[in-house]
Amino acid sequence: MNDQLNQVKQRIRELREISGCSVTQAAEMLGMDEHAYKRCEEGGEDIPISLIYSVASLYHVDTTDILSGKSPKLTTISVVRKGKGIRVERFAGYQYENIAYNFARRTMEPMIVTLDPSGKKPELVMHGGQELNYCLSGQMRLIYDSNEIILSPGDSAYFDARLPHGQMAESGGPASFLTVINE
């Protein structure tokens, strides 16, 4: 397990402990199985980005607090130069770069996502809110509920994120896209 993931797990555990919640209570408030929640705090498994959003909402902290251990300070404008966002690796084949990590009280999460060309269908996720995917380079396949949609540079899809969805690189090469999530 990588060091960044260990730190994220530790921060989630600390937030739960500071709030006085048991593992059972936290799992219940997050709407998940207690054993699955416990694995997110302790096990070698990765943590879905949607769970990080849910944990941040539950404990009234910013996702940046969980991901980096630092609170965002900016409240009027945030400029993040190319390649200088917070990099997050949550799932095999996905590399996230949070490009607004230093803006406090965000109402949406914009990230650049790079997809590795594994050819393997992703595990589908669901989370609250809505999501925008805007293809930047390469070709990507958006799997949404029972639909599969190919997006090329300049194409976008906006959808209800409460339905199962995932993305994968298409045509044997990498792909990147901007995703904006509003929970």
Domain membership flag for residue 145: yes
Give the tens place of pLDDT for each residue, 104-143: 988 898 999 999 998 888 888 888 889 999 999 999 999 9
Q: What pLDDT score does 167 carry?
A: 95
Residues 134 and 177 in one domain: yes
pLDDT tops 60 at residue 1: no
pLDDT at 44: 65
Mean pLDDT, residues 146-160 taken together? 97
The pLDDT, as a whole number, for residue 99 is 94
Q: What is the pLDDT of residues 15-73, one digit of tens each?
A: 999 999 999 999 999 988 898 888 888 866 677 777 888 898 899 998 889 888 888 88
150/101 same-domain check = yes
Residue 78: inside a domain, yes or no? no
* Residue 23 · residue 16 · CB < 8 Å: yes
Count of structural domains, the chain: 2
Q: Is residue 47 part of a domain?
A: yes
Model pTM score: 0.76
Q: Which domain holds residue 54?
A: 3-68
Please indicate, yes or no, whether residues 98 and 63 belong to a single structural domain of this protein. no
DSSP string of the chain?
A: --HHHHHHHHHHHHHHHHHT--HHHHHHHHTS-HHHHHHHHHSSS---HHHHHHHHHHTT--HHHHHHS----BSS-----TT-SEEE--STTEEEEESSTTBTT-SSEEEEEEE----PPPPPB--SSEEEEEEEESEEEEEETTEEEEE-TT-EEEEETTS-EEEEEETTS-EEEEEEEE-
Position 45 scores a pLDDT of 67
Is the pLDDT assigned to residue 163 strictly greater than 90?
A: yes
pLDDT value of residue 95: 87
- Is the same domain home to 34 and 103? no
Residue 3 pLDDT: 78
**46 with 7, same domain?**
yes
Are 56 and 91 in a shared domain? Answer: no
Within this chain, do residues 111 and 139 fall inside the same structural domain, yes or no? yes
Higher-confidence residue of 93 and 144: namely 144
Give the CATH number of the domain where residue 122 resides: 2.60.120.10
